[in-house]
Amino acid sequence: MHILVSAKGEKDSDFSWTNDRELVFPVFSCGNCLRDPEAGCGCGRSFMGIESGKLTTTAVIVDSPITEDLVTAEFVQEAAKRGWPARIATEWAEEMLSAAARFAVGDVVERRLDVISTRELVG
């Protein structure tokens, strides 16, 4: 099954404070980023590492033996630690898995609010 894990982008505007290759959440976006994800603090164009709780601007598609139920369970468990409802974690798991399913293994993706797309290859 395809899943999204943290990556390290190579553009000047990229940052990555997550652990290497951890499962990622989308993340709540602040008001500034909701108005313009390019101009805000970066949360509107970031994924959050499920273990580290830190942000990264890129994720990569990998093939994993993990099941959809396990991914959802991990999301729900991590969300609960942060006081977020299970319903949101379940939606995020569906969103991340359906995004991952659309791309090929090795594709690097980025996020702009609700839209996850493959990164244009530079050069």
The residues that touch Zn ion, with contacts defined as CB under 5 A, are 30, 33, 40-41, 43
105 vs 113 by CB, closer to Zn ion: 113
The answer to whether residues 10 and 56 touch, using CB atoms and an 8 Å cutoff, is no
21 vs 112 by CB, closer to Zn ion: 112
The answer to whether residues 30 and 43 touch, using CB atoms and an 8 Å cutoff, is yes
Distance CA(95)–CA(3), nearest Å, equals 11
Quote the least distance from Cβ 16 to Zn ion, whole Å. 16
27 vs 62 by CB, closer to Zn ion: 27
Quote the least distance from Cβ 29 to Zn ion, whole Å. 6
Quote the least distance from Cβ 6 to Zn ion, whole Å. 18
Distant-in-sequence contacts of 29-36, Cβ < 8 A, 24+ apart: 29/113, 33/113, 34/113
